[in-house]
């Protein structure tokens, strides 16, 4: 297996295998000079980013049964929650959606609150807000979804040079925002939200494809639709 890359805030890079997150520390297994291995803990507060190959279980199909998704992703989230890696946040969001489908609202709330607690002030909170808004929209609470997303959309529109990570996260917010605007019959604004994913926050090809499909469907249903 290729080594994971753990970049600390002081610029140093640690290589090894991230084994787990526990408390406020991430544990990394590294090779020693004599050919053995040693597991060393590092404080999460000292770590800027982590690049690692996600476990195979994280790639569980989106159309798998919610119970299967929950059973697969829950152990991964418990093992790695708090790690500043995109795949961990994606797994947490998918786990929340699975629990919502299973009617376990307390688990849903706990996961999004966990994101807020573990990643304070980070772009990952964008995904938590987008996830909450998506669930509000699915439950017919359109105004609630819009209220959750509006501060994010305002901030995103002021970010003229988003990082790749920020772009992926903002794309989630704009997709849900577009769907909420559609539900409010604000079609030009909805189309603009979808097109923003394609032109500004295009770092995730899957989300760009979703935005393209939603924009095309909206235009097909409303041939004269344009952006104000």
pLDDT tens track for 82-129: 999 888 988 998 898 899 889 998 898 899 989 988 988 888 888 888
Strand arrangement of the beta sheet that strand 13-22 belongs to: 37-43, 25-31, 13-22, 4-8, 47-51
Under DSSP, the state recorded for 10 is: T
pLDDT tens track for 176-204: 999 999 999 999 999 999 999 999 998 88
Can you give the pLDDT at residue 164?
80
List the domains of the chain with CATH numbers. 1-53 (2.30.30.100), 56-221 (1.25.40.10)
3-state class of 32 per DSSP?
A: coil
Q: Which has the closest alpha carbon to 146: 127, 132, 133?
A: 133
Strand partners, 18: 28
């Amino acid at each position: 297996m290729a080594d994971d890359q753990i970049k600390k805030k002081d610029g140093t890079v640690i290589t090894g295998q991230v084994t787990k997150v526990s408390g406020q520390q991430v544990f990394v297994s590294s090779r020693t000079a004599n050919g053995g291995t040693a597991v060393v803990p590092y404080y999460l507060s000292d770590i800027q980013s982590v690049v690692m190959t996600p476990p195979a279980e994280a790639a569980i199909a989106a159309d798998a049964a919610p119970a299967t998704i929950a059973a697969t992703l829950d152990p991964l989230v418990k093992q790695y929650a708090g790690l500043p890696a995109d795949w961990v946040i994606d797994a947490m969001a998918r786990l929340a959606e699975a629990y919502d489908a299973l009617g376990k609202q307390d688990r849903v709330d706990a996961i999004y609150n966990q994101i807020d607690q573990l990643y304070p002030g980070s772009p990952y909170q964008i995904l938590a807000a987008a996830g909450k808004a998506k669930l509000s929209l699915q439950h017919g609470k359109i105004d609630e979804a819009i209220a959750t997303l509006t501060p994010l959309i305002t901030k995103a529109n002021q970010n003229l040079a988003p990082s790749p990570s920020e772009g992926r996260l903002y794309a989630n917010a704009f997709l849900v925002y577009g769907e909420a605007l559609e539900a409010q019959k604000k079609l030009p604004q909805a189309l603009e939200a979808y097109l923003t994913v394609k032109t500004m926050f295009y770092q995730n090809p899957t989300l760009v494809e979703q935005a393209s499909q939603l924009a095309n469907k909206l235009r097909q249903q409303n041939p004269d639709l344009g952006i104000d």
